[in-house]
Amino acid sequence: MLLQKEREELVKYGKMIIQAGLTKGTGGNFSVYNREEGLMAITPSGIPYMIMKPEDIVIMDLKGNIVEGELVPSSEHAMHAMVYEKRSDVNAMVHMHSIFCTTLSALNESLPAVDYLVAFSGDKEVKCAKYATYGTVELAENALEALGNQNAVLLANHGLNAVAGNMMMAFAIAEQIEFCAEVYIRARSAGTPVILRDDEMTRMVKRFANYGQKKEC
């Protein structure tokens, strides 16, 4: 099978995403791009992550052609392909329907710097892309435009996309942004959240740009 390593990685992260409470059942989708081969491994449509197997993963090129796989790919495959085409630094993407990111996206609002961990997004806030129907090129374009050069973007009335050079980092970004969204929603329920100062977030964004094992945060 093509992209065996990537297939196994998606199966592993599927379980982790469920266990971390970042999505439910079959909600969301994620992919890994092998830039040398020019091929993307993406989760199939409608298969629960807890029972997904490596052979269920669909291999596609960036033009939307299925290169290998029996199952129907995620309906959002164009949204993934478009990011890999436009961003040469991105090789993994998590799209999920986590509760607090989706709650904030239902308000069509950005996530401000309510916590320094917002810097995981690569900027001082996580923007919210304009609404479009799921699975459409319009949604893919809106998401890409609002993402810009950042690592995360909210999708209005829908969820979150997190992107990175590898799956481990894309998952970490998704998890941290969901945490920040939860803090923000809860803080707003309790009062008026204090947003971190611009110069502080400038420092944090710089620090998180080199995030890795040697970092403490």
Q: Catalytic amino acids?
A: 76
Report yes or no: 108 and 131 within 8 Å, Cβ to Cβ: yes
Strand order in the sheet with 66-68: 66-68, 58-60, 39-42, 29-34, 92-96, 159-164, 152-155, 128-129
Cα–Cα distance measured from residue 110 to residue 130, given in angstroms and rounded to the nearest whole number: 11
Place of tokens 């923007």: 127
CB atoms within 10 A of CB 50: 11
Question: What Cα–Cα distance (Å) separates residue 138 from each residue in 34, 35, 44, 164, 170?
Answer: 25, 25, 21, 22, 23
Q: Dihedrals φ, ψ of 143, to 5°? A: -65, -45
Two tokens at 148?
């810009």
Cα–Cα distance measured from residue 81 to residue 39, given in angstroms and rounded to the nearest whole number: 10
